[in-house]
């Protein structure tokens, strides 16, 4: 018998009518003979509302109590979906994170799952053919007995981790799009939905700007080898589309050199000029940022002839001012002449496992961008992707250029 985890995001459960529609999707799988666990997010906008209440109550609130408040959104959805399923004649019960239990670290607001005990859910399958409706985004730090939350997008991670814990045959992530596209179809109208994409490609796309899945959920799917579909909850429950399967590389019959183009406008550039070109200077720059939790991405160092160097790197736009303040305080220990920054930049990336066996893929992209008059500020590469930092004004032109160059707008 097939064992399946289905996950539904906030827009899919935004109101009772949509929750009833979700129940029909679940009933379809139950009627087909599957044992089903469902992971749900809070209704669209509810987590933001609950978070705002915390801030209104006290600007410097206790993060543990914040988790207790915001976890209530998923609790409401889980209960309502269980009721809707029962109304359709499907045995169902709700499970909160601590009831399953989903055990986590104690990093409140950004906890990581340490283990999931799925025995009780599996018992419900065996004895009652009961659908388990699990509140996503939340868990339990067992030593303290406190509710924790996993951070934004945490319900995706909950779903994939639960699928691994109960040995599910697959995990279906239902969202407001019908799969993973070669790029954002709102930017490139010729973007195509992919039938399949490798775990590694999806991980790169998620981390480089694609908003379809949360990065940690893709990491979990890769580690545990959980086949994961991205599907639309707005399809007719009786005739749904197949969506996009995220799977092992060997399960993809034919691959393109480049699979997709991702982009992020959430970027900022920092340049330190005339830094001493000597051992330890990179540590002096990046250790204070790491200790403050500021993630650094693209790094370019240009050595001069007088034992001095210029160092350019990127951080998220949200961390720009904090990073600049940290570096200004550390100016004496680092020893740079000046610091400049820009937040009118964007990162555009081409991703594909086919790059491993094809030379010159990135060079072709650089040439095409140059022909469009797009200046590249920084470059990073790996086995299966390259990224360029460019002026934000050229983002859409760059995405269109690379999407067409690698034939992604063709069937």
Residues 212-233: tens digit of each pLDDT? 888 889 999 999 999 999 999 9
Beta strands (DSSP E) in 287-335 are 299-303, 308-316
pLDDT of residue 9: 94
State yes or no: pLDDT of 279 exceeds 90.
no
pLDDT of residue 308: 82
**Domains with residue ranges and CATH for the chain:** 3-249 (3.40.1160.10), 261-405 (3.30.2130.10)
pLDDT of residue 332: 86
Distance from C-alpha of 254 to C-alpha of 121, rounded to nearest angstrom: 38
Q: Is the separation of the CB atoms in 298 and 268 below 8 Å?
A: no
State yes or no: pLDDT of 189 exceeds 90.
yes
pLDDT of residue 99: 96
Burial 8-37 (b: 16+ CB within 10 A, else e): bbbbbbbeeebbbbbbebbbebbeeebbbb
Residues 6+ apart with CB under 8 A from 204: 262, 349, 351, 382, 384, 385
Which residues are 135's β-sheet partners?
40
Angle (CA) 255 260 261, round 5°: 155
Burial 105-130 (b: 16+ CB within 10 A, else e): eeebbbbbbeebebeebbebbeeeeb
Distance from C-alpha of 310 to C-alpha of 274, rounded to nearest angstrom: 5
pLDDT of residue 240: 87
pLDDT of residue 306: 76
Q: Report residue 138's pLDDT band, with 50, 70 and 90 as the boundaries.
A: very high
**How many helices (DSSP H) and strands (DSSP E) are in the chain?**
13, 18
Distance from C-alpha of 217 to C-alpha of 227, rounded to nearest angstrom: 12
pLDDT of residue 333: 86
Element (H, E) at 149: strand 146-149
Beta strands (DSSP E) in 223-281 are 228-232, 244-247, 260-276
The two structure tokens encoding residue 220: 């979990």
The two structure tokens encoding residue 86: 């029962």
Nearest to 390 by CA among 335, 342, 321: 342
CA 199 to chain centre: 13
Q: Is the separation of the CB atoms in 362 and 402 below 8 Å?
A: no
pLDDT of residue 130: 97
Q: What is the pLDDT of residues 365-404, one digit of tens each?
A: 999 999 999 999 989 898 999 999 999 999 999 999 999 9
pTM for the model stands at: 0.85
Average pLDDT of the residues in 165-178: 94
Task: Output DSSP code: residue 43.
Answer: P
Nearest to 311 by CA among 293, 284, 346, 291: 284
Q: Report residue 411's pLDDT band, with 50, 70 and 90 as the boundaries.
A: low
Which residues are 198's β-sheet partners?
247
Mean pLDDT computed over every residue of the chain: 93
Nearest to 324 by CA among 288, 281, 377, 360: 288
Nearest to 259 by CA among 374, 356, 390: 356
């Amino acid at each position: 018998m097939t064992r399946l985890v289905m996950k539904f995001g906030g827009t899919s459960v935004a109101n009772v009518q949509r929750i009833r529609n979700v129940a029909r999707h679940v009933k379809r799988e139950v009627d087909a003979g599957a044992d089903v666990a469902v992971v749900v997010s809070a209704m669209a906008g509810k987590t933001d509302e609950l978070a705002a209440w915390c801030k209104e109550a006290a600007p410097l609130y206790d993060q543990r109590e914040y988790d207790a408040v915001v976890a209530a959104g998923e609790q409401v959805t889980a209960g309502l979906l269980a009721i809707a399923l029962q109304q359709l004649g499907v045995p169902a019960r709700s499970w909160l994170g601590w009831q399953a239990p989903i055990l986590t670290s104690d990093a409140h607001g950004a906890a990581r799952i340490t283990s999931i005990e799925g025995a009780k859910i599996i018992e419900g399958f065996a004895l009652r053919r009961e659908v388990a409706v699990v509140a996503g985004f939340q868990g339990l730090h067992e030593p303290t007995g406190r509710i924790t939350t996993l951070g934004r997008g945490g319900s995706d991670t909950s779903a994939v981790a639960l699928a691994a814990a109960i040995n599910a045959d697959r995990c279906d992530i239902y969202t407001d799009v019908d799969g993973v596209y070669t790029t954002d179809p709102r930017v490139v109208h010729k973007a195509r939905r992919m039938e399949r994409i490798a775990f590694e490609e999806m991980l790169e796309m998620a981390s480089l700007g694609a908003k379809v899945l949360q990065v940690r959920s893709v990491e979990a799917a890769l580690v545990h080898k959980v086949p994961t579909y991205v599907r639309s909850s707005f399809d007719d429950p009786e005739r749904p589309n197949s969506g996009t399967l995220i799977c092992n590389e060997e399960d993809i019959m034919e691959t393109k050199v480049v699979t997709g183009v991702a982009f992020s406008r959430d970027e900022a550039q920092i340049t330190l000029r005339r830094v001493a070109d000597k051992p330890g200077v990179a540590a002096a720059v990046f250790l204070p940022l790491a200790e403050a939790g500021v993630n650094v991405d693209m790094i370019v160092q240009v050595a001069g002839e007088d034992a001095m160097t210029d160092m350019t790197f990127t951080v998220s736009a949200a961390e720009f001012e904090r990073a600049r303040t940290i570096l200004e305080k550390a100016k004496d220990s680092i020893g740079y002449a000046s610091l400049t920054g820009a937040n009118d930049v964007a990162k555009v990336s081409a991703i594909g496992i086919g790059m491993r066996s094809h030379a010159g893929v990135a060079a072709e992209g650089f040439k095409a961008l140059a022909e469009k008059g797009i200046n590249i500020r920084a470059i990073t590469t790996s086995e299966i992707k390259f990224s360029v930092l460019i002026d934000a004004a050229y983002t859409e032109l760059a995405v269109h250029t690379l999407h067409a160059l690698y034939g992604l707008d063709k069937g």
